[in-house]
Structure 1
């Protein structure tokens, strides 16, 4: 049914596609900015400048509260606490969180039903993440938790003069514009949220002039999107001697680590400040940059731990990020191993905020695939969202016009069905002309740090 609707959408006139985007935007606006959003947003603005003692007390009380809630309502944690003899009465400080084992993505997959709160059956929003390794992971949210996250993100935007009602341009990997479109407009309008959507599949030498004309027409207070997509567009603008004459006030990036060379180029070409916040699909932790360019832990949302810490020569500490969330009662995560590392610094930031500071979120540098249409595709994670039988995967391009998908499969994997699904996803969302082959391996090659590239190019 979904494929049929997508096909109808792709063949519809642009004005109908804009109506569909607006209709979907109206639903999203209600989900994100309706309900308790205004109250949460107002409360977050009041707590933003709490002193250190007040922050520590707040996080201790919220952590104890979520531990008690999990013990009473979540089967997985009830069994775990009993197994490790963890008594919540003995929880005296945040340091006591270390008594609880780390929650990994694999544990979440294997205990999905036990991690769900039975009290929220039928009253939740289903979501998923594929992760940069192609591992599919599903989870659920309360509507209130979704509104809390958006209130948090808009608090970050307010630091740079942006309001929830401001108009903006989004640069995304979702195919709002049909892949086979060969002429402008290479964007779609979501009027319900004052959003214009640009997709990575239509950012190329052939389209960049038209896109720049639309951006220069204006009407955008800010841009948001993947740094890799914005960086690719910035390079094309520069290489084609084009110019942005109507700059946004600020650009916000997310979903990927914002690397310095990307940031510098994006800022130079678009003529504005570029900033970001750190979050992840599981929604149990967040950190946002301040005006002084440091990440501050959004302490009201959860606790970010530095796990397995290593001291650096400059006094900073680098470790794996663990997150304990406060807001999502439908599926609470305690000491969740996100899969990223960060570098914490102990200082009093001149911005005036007293929550823990992070100098750097250490992300991966990914290669890209070149499609037959000449597009550079850096992210493939969303094509794996329905492939629970895949343990890990990697996209490898050895020659132009084709890719190899390396797969570490789980028991019971139906190769024929998975290959059919992935070919269809790539045809519908990446490129109609890209040839796809598959290689089944026992493991994906890792770097010295234990990580691997989700996308690997062998083309010079």
Structure 2
């Protein structure tokens, strides 16, 4: 897409005006614009050393615990020293602590306070390392609030994409010549467009980028035809989007859409979704975890172990919440950052049958904002089981007041009144005796990033 370059940064910033101009382009020109942008991004993400970085990443997968401990200690020490002396936000904070008589050492991670997103949102440039060269500015999705702008160095991007090549494409048998499709939240097609194509072809990345905003039941057949026409062998995207697409495959009875792998991201993957996606595309389904802030990342192996990428960041689990320290992005260090995700880390001694020694995440539970508060003050996080085993294609729970819950859902044809009664019963078992409104819909609304928010609290939109 056409865009404007800003001083000292490397991305193309797409404004509303430029996006409108892009949407007026003929279909072929949109794909040409996507391909040009793809070549531009490739210069940031890949270089002459990319294959070496991939090989080194694969080698580290079998390091001993002692090797990882030594590596982590040296990288954390260097990070804390540089952040305390060269990053304006942290430098000012430590100087203020010294003036107040605080002599705590910045060499110990536990002496650093937890960093909230609001601080980063209010003064993003204060987190850029002084003296650093050009950075690539990438916005977060802004699912639960105003997007953040994250500055990344060329070195960080090349390490990240080497890790992705090693621990997703290589693990899953995806070859460089294989064509992939991505269901993402970029507005590659005008929102009000009702006829295909709902995608653009990025020739530089050999990727079909498909809009998540047009996955209505009557439009999904066009998506499936495009997957066949472009000879797609690998699917990636938000879990809810892949699930919606898979349901369309099964409804149509299509058997010509075999993939090597379907890779989910952006939203937790539950077993019923995995089963449907796998059945539709006749392939394994692998879960991945990450964020635009690049302070934590993980991917699932063939043994279904969700392995951390330790090079990206250090994850602390505090009361079920992930607090992360980024290690890969030297341009914008984020230390003890409250990412907003909930999950559980596996014990350090746990070994995966795949033989890799990378640490593991035992489970992902979604965003910390994906919670409901009951009338007696309890905080309830995990509500997916409410819809397990029911003829429901997608669901969303909205807490409108402490006493009223709205359960939106896309029913399958066989949905019956008794299934609605089961939803009400299960919600009351978890939340107490409160008013529950059932709202069957044709499709669920998506956020500005193209994701489906499964839990919404009216006072935390």
Mark yes or no: TM-score above 0.5: yes
Please list every run of 5 or more consecutive structure 2 residues that lacks an aligned counterpart in the other structure: 4-14, 371-383, 385-394, 397-407, 411-440
What's the counterpart of residue 130 of structure 2?
118
Verify the 8 A CA contact 1:305 1:323 in the aligned structure 2: yes
Instruction: Give the secondary-structure state (helix, strand or coil) at the position aligned to 2:213.
Output: helix
Contact 1:215-1:244 at 8 Å conserved across structures: no
- 1:143: Cα distance to partner? 1.6
1:413-437 deviations in Å (ceiling 9; x for gaps): xxxxxxxxxxxxxxxxxxxxxxxxx
Aligned counterpart, 1:37: 50
Counterparts of residues 214-253 of structure 1 (less than 5 Å): 214-217=226-229, 219-239=231-251, 241-253=252-264
Change (3 A) 1:114 1:4: closer
The correspondence for 2:363, drawn from 350, 360, 376, is 360
Corresponding residue number in structure 2 for 1:199: 211
Equivalent residue for 2:272?
Answer: 261
1:345 maps to 2:343? no
* Alignment RMSD: 2.8
Q: Deviations for 1:239-287, whole angstroms, at most 9, x for unmatched residues?
A: 3x33141311001111222232222211111111111221111112212
SS in 2 for 1:352: coil
Matches within 5 A, 1:100-111: 100-111=112-123
User: 1:379 aligned to 2:397?
Assistant: no
Query: 2:224 corresponds to which residue?
Result: 212
**Shift in Å at residue 375 of structure 1?**
5.1
| Unmatched tracts of structure 1, length 5 or more | 309-318, 384-392, 397-443, 447-451, 455-460
Partner SS, residue 161 of structure 1 = coil
Question: Structure 1 residue 323: deviation in Å?
Answer: 1.1
**Which of residues 77, 97, 104 in structure 1 aligns to 2:90?**
77
Q: Deviations over 1:325-366 (max 9, x none)?
A: 122121101111111111122211111122322111111467
TM-score, normalised with respect to structure 1 = 0.74
State whether structure 2 residue 55 is matched by structure 1 residue 55: no
Secondary structure of the 1:120 match is coil
| Aligned-residue offset at 1:10 | 2.4
**Does structure 2 retain, via aligned residues, the 8 Å contact 1:35–1:144?**
no
- How far off its partner does 1:234 sit? 1.7
Q: Matched residue of 1:213: which SS? A: helix
Counterpart position of 2:416: none
Which of 289, 303, 308 aligns to 1:297? It is 308
Deviation for aligned residue 1:395: 11
Alpha carbons 1:216, 1:247 under 8 Å: kept: no
Cα 1:109–1:359 change in 2 (3 A) is same
How far is 1:99 from its partner? Answer: 2.3
Could you tell me whether the CA contact under 8 Å between 1:145 and 1:327 is conserved in 2? yes
CA shift in 2, pair 1:118/1:303, >3 Å: same
Question: How many residues get paired?
Answer: 372
CA distance in 1, matches of 2:21, 2:277: 36
Query: Any residues of structure 2 matched to 1:272-283 within 5 Å, and which?
Result: 272-283=283-294
C-alpha deviation, 1:394, in angstroms: 12
Distance 1:126 1:28 in 2: 12
Q: How does 1:385-424 map to 2 (within 5 A)?
A: none
**1:22: which partner in 2?**
35
Contact 2:34/2:202 (8 A) holds in 1: yes
TM-score by length of 2: 0.74
* TM-superposition CA deviations, 1:72-106 (whole Å, max 9, x none): 21122223344142325xx4xxxx42222111112
Aligned to 1:325: 326
Contact 2:181 / 2:234 at 8 angstroms: preserved in 1? Answer: yes
Distance 1:251 1:174 in 2: 19
**Distance (whole Å) between structure 2 residues aligned to residue 135 and residue 183 of structure 1:** 31
Aligned to 1:414: none
Describe the SS at the equivalent of 2:302: coil
- Paired with 1:67 and 1:245, the residues of 2 have a C-alpha distance of 52
**Corresponding residue SS for 1:224:** strand
Structure 1 stretch displaced more, 53-62 or 209-218? 209-218
Q: Distance in 2 between matches of 1:172 and 1:114?
A: 30
* Deviating more after overlay: 194-203 vs 211-220: 211-220
Distance 2:125 2:198 in 1: 42
1:6 aligns with 2:19: yes
Partner of 2:139: 128
Q: CA deviation at 1:162?
A: 1.8
Kindly state the Cα deviation for residue 65 of structure 1 after the two structures are TM-superposed: 1.1
Q: Helix, strand or coil: the match of 2:345? A: strand
- For residues 35 and 86 of structure 1, what CA distance do their matches in structure 2 show? 43
User: Which residue is 2:173 aligned to?
Assistant: 161
- For each residue in 1:196-255, what CA deviation from the matched residue of structure 2 results, as whole angstroms up to 9, or x when unmatched? 12212332232222222222345222111111111112223333x331413110011112
